[in-house]
Chain A
Amino acid sequence: MSEIVSCHTSESPGITAEGNPFRNGLWKQNPVFVMVLGMCPTLAITNSVRNAVSMGFATTFVMVISYGLISMIRKLIPKQVRIATYIAILAMAVTVVDFLVKAISIPIYLALGAYIPLIVSNCLTLERAEAYAGKQPVMKSMLDGLGMGFGFTIALTMLGAVREVLGAGTFLGVHVFSKNFEPWVLFLLPPGGFISLAMWLLFFAWWKERSAKRAVIREAAPEMAIATEVNA
């Protein structure tokens, strides 16, 4: 529950109802790389691509189903009990996912362990329920859940890929290096999660700054910018 306390408010920068809700969640308001939400599963279960993708899809399912239901009854929910209602609906969706994962694959269920039930207290799911689904129509809310879920899955997969490749020398269980490669086991351990996340965040910060600089140059002197790009 400590995560919920540290959640952003609906006035957080970057969280707006403007634009395409699906595309926003996917990249512009990516829950991990932009909003830095849902850090608990992000750091804990991304030690392999398979775990990361499974967790991402489980969270996406929870978000789409629960945001649809929350949005459907949003006008009936009294303000005083809205959080309790959101948690009840999220808990139902998480329990359904728990049964489904167990029915689909027990090894994945065992690998994800306690992190499936913890989706209910994931900052991301409750935050979007409060900031978006509780105020927007059903289709938009479900699209937001889908976009945020896919954005979350992409981010987890990117982290999982770095950690699995460097930490185990494999990608989806397939060896990608020669036999001489000594795996950096550190990347499979908790510090590896922090290091990988920091690497990705630094990369995106550098990329954003570079794009902003280019945009300024393009605005100031469009011909020079084109010439620079052609030369590059």
Chain B
Amino acid sequence: MIRLLGAVSLICGLLIVGTNLLTSARIRSNQETIMRNSVSELLPGAQKQIIYGVEPSGELKILPGLDTPGQRLFAGYDASGKLLGIVIESSARGYADLIQAMYSYSPEKQEIIGFKIVDMRDTTHPATVVKHGSKKNPWEIDAISGATISSRAVGKLIATSEQDVLPVVRKNLERIEKGE
């Protein structure tokens, strides 16, 4: 009985590993495309993108591609080279798994100007319920409803990343504006 269960588990494990090896390159390429499209969606009119990696010292480093792990920032510029905004990646634990999201921040207005869920496994999609309506204050979110845990995770991922990343953005803003 134990031998059979062991053999079944071994075969299943090998099949899963094999599929992972076969599909990982394609999945990575799909995720890169989604990420680039998300940046364009969150910063409409952006003609040029520069990807910055945040180093542990709080300094920024221009990344050649999306392969480098760690905290990344996507700066979007219009045709004249003016900074339109910065897209920040963030994640927080939802009900089923990590909720990965991207939001765009405008240093000029000092407010979040866009939000998008990139990956999540929860059954209710908070991205469909984060509404942009008539705001009285620039920092207000009109409503997040639906799944309680997913909604809280969305609030948490924005709050955490604001605390961690925005000081780095402010410190290096001049450099980002010049695209250096």
* Chains A and B bind each other: yes
Residues of A in contact with B (beta carbons under 8 Å apart): 44, 73, 76-78, 80-81, 84-85, 88-89, 91-92, 95-96, 99-100, 102-103, 105-107, 110, 113-115, 117
Whether the pair B121, A99 counts as a contact (CB closer than 8 A) is no
CB contact under 8 A between A88 and B5, given known A95-B16, A99-B19 = yes
19 contacts between A and B (CB under 8 A): A73-B4, A78-B1, A78-B4, A81-B4, A84-B5, A88-B5, A88-B8, A88-B9, A92-B16, A95-B19, A96-B15, A96-B16, A99-B27, A100-B19, A103-B26, A103-B27, A110-B119, A113-B121, A117-B121
Closest 4 CB pairs of A and B: A92-B12, A103-B23, A103-B26, A99-B23
Residue ID in chain B nearest A91 by CB atoms = B12
Task: Give 12 A-B pairs besides A92-B15, A99-B16 with Cβ atoms closer than 8 angstroms.
Answer: A44-B123, A73-B4, A84-B5, A89-B8, A89-B12, A92-B11, A95-B16, A95-B19, A100-B19, A102-B23, A106-B34, A110-B120
B78 at the interface (CB under 8 A from A): no
Contacts of B9 in A (CB 8 A): 88
The residues of A that contact B13 with a CB separation of less than 8 Å are 92
A117 to B120, CA, bound (A): 13
Map CB proximity to A onto B9-33 as digits: 1 under 8 Å, 0 otherwise.
1011101100110010011001100
> Is B96 interfacial (CB 8 A cutoff)?
yes
Tell me if B's interface is mostly helix, strand, loop or mixed.
Answer: helix
Please tell me the number of chain B residues within 8 Å of chain A, measured between CB atoms: 26
Residue ranges of B at the interface with A (Cβ–Cβ < 8 Å):
1, 4-5, 8-9, 11-13, 15-16, 19-20, 23, 26-27, 30-31, 34, 96, 117, 119-123, 125
Query: Complex formed: what's the CA distance from A89 to B7 in Å?
Result: 11
Q: Which residue of B lies closest to A118 (CB)?
A: B123
B20:A113 contact, CB within 8 angstroms: no
Closest residue on chain A to residue B26 by CB atoms: A103
Residues from chain A with Cβ under 8 Å of B26 in the complex: 103
Name the B residues within 8 Å of A117 (CB-CB).
Answer: 121
Nearest CB on B from A147, distance (A):
24
Q: Pick from B5, B34, B117, B122: contact of A114, CB below 8 A.
A: B122
Q: Which residues of B contact A78 (CB under 8 A)?
A: 1, 4
A81 touching B27, Cβ below 8 Å: no
- Residues of chain A within 8 A (CB-CB) of B8 are 73, 85, 88-89
Asked whether, in the complex, the Cβ of B5 is within 8 Å of the Cβ of A85, the reply is: yes
Distance between Cα atoms of A95 and B9 in the complex (Å): 13
The answer on a CB contact under 8 Å between B96 and A114 is yes
